[in-house]
Structure 1
Amino acid sequence: MRMKTQVLGLEEVAVTTGEENEDSLLDLKSKLHRFDIDGSQWKEGDLGTVKFLKHRDTGKIRLVMRQSITLKICANHIVTSGMSVVEHAENDKSCVWHARDFSNGEPKDELFCIRFASVENCKAFMEKFKEVAESEEEKEESKDASDAASLLEKLTMEEKHTKEKKEAKPVEKVASAKADKAVGEKKTRVCALSLSCICICIATQTHKAR
């Protein structure tokens, strides 16, 4: 007796990793360790692929590592200016660095040690790390210079405006003095005219009385 097999069609589900808007600058197979402060020892590491990812819109570069089998994130942090990476004192295939890591969803200061299959891969990782950190430092210096230039321009404009106001005050005083003088002359003419009218009226009345 033959059993009929029914094939069910399954809909494709798009899987997102959060890396869709980022470009990979470098990715290498490696093993990552974290330093346990409480136990004063290195924790057993995760095998996976470490990447430097650059965001297409912001230009920010982060270091991300996922476990090979589960794809769980075991390292996730932005590479910023001032960060440094050094070769491990006892293994030239490994290097060490500090970072504020977000792999567990909450920021946590971590000391990482990563080991590669070859010295060449370790050097490539360190070179890229230093390159990114230096580029971030240059961006900050450029921003600081731009901010300083904007501030200087603002101060210059304010100084110019203040100077123009000071120069405008004497002109306003002269104009006010001229206006007061004109009003005074007008009042004098009115008074003279009124006095003339009074004299005429008095003369007329005197003449009639005679």
Structure 2
Amino acid sequence: MASNDPDREEEAAAAGEDEDTGAQVAPIVTLSEVAVTTGEEEEDALLDLKAKLYRFDKEGNQWKERGTGSVKLLKHRETGKVRLLMRQVKTLKICANHLVLPSVKIQEHAGNDKSCVWHASDFADGELKEEMFCIRFGSVENCKKFMETVEGIAESSEKNEEKESKDASDAAGLLDKLSVHESKTEKAPEEVPAAAVKADDETEK
């Protein structure tokens, strides 16, 4: 005779679910740990802020959203060069990836004090392309912090380039002086006096 008590039926069903059959089920796919490299291992983050990035589409003459995520300014420990890197928050796809050079001029976007724009030779798509970017932050403070940091890096990079150029020209000047000095002090082969040659000829006779 069937029981009409729903509580008993639920208990029986639960007992059936919890019953251990003793069967061993092997996983279909075995996953092993894989070391993921981001390319940022040799760099230190000078800035890390949440933002939304746009790229200007010249053909369509309009701004297009590139992605929302974390924009970083990363300084390489050996070379000292700084690059701007931004990834989408979920997919981690690269939205922007370029060096902060003296040519990078950043300015506030007209009509929006939470946004700023700049030009750069970007490598996000695997090849260098001249891009115009616009980035929008959640606050005016973050936008100002980003602009000031980028401007400071660009100025510092320009000074370093000028110093390297001066050092190179100084080194070239020193090498030039050194080569001139050596050519002046270099001794010419000693000439045998003509009288000595004549005496040797007479001896042989």
TM over 0.5: yes
Distance 1:12 1:150 in 2: 51
Indicate the residue corresponding to 1:44 in structure 2: 65
SS in 2 for 1:11: coil
Are 1:86 and 2:121 matched, yes or no? Answer: no
Larger Rg, first or second structure (1 or 2): 1
Are 1:183 and 2:204 matched, yes or no? Answer: no
Indicate the residue corresponding to 1:133 in structure 2: 154
Letter in 1 for 2:196: A
Residues 103-142 of structure 1: pairs in structure 2 closer than 5 A: 103-142=124-163
Indicate the residue corresponding to 1:65 in structure 2: 86
The one of 147, 154, 162 aligned to 2:168: 147
What is the CA distance between 1:189 and its match in structure 2?
5.9
SS in 1 for 2:59: coil
Contact 2:119 2:131 in 1 (8 A): yes
Letter in 1 for 2:53: L
Are 1:29 and 2:50 matched, yes or no? Answer: yes
Query: What is the aligned-residue RMSD (CA, Å)?
Result: 2.2
SS in 2 for 1:33: strand
Indicate the residue corresponding to 1:53 in structure 2: 74
What is the CA distance between 1:14 and its match in structure 2?
2.0
What is the CA distance between 1:124 and its match in structure 2?
0.6
Distance 1:57 1:45 in 2: 31
What is the CA distance between 1:44 and its match in structure 2?
2.6
TM-score normalised by L of structure 1? 0.79
Distance 1:190 1:102 in 2: 83
Letter in 2 for 1:26: L
Letter in 1 for 2:85: V
Contact 2:107 2:116 in 1 (8 A): yes
Distance 1:190 1:11 in 2: 94
SS in 2 for 1:65: strand
Letter in 2 for 1:109: E
Distance 2:165 2:75 in 1: 22
Q: Report the identity percentage.
A: 51
- CA gap of 1:156–1:87, structure 2 versus 1, over 3 A, is same
1:66-88 CA-to-partner distances (Å, cap 9, x unmatched) read 11111111111111122110011
1:152-179 CA-to-partner distances (Å, cap 9, x unmatched) read 11110121122224xx44x83xx422xx
TM-score normalised by L of structure 2? 0.81
Contact 2:66 2:95 in 1 (8 A): no
More helix by share: 1
Task: Specify every segment of 5 or more residues in structure 2 that has no aligned partner in the other structure, as ranges.
Answer: 1-15
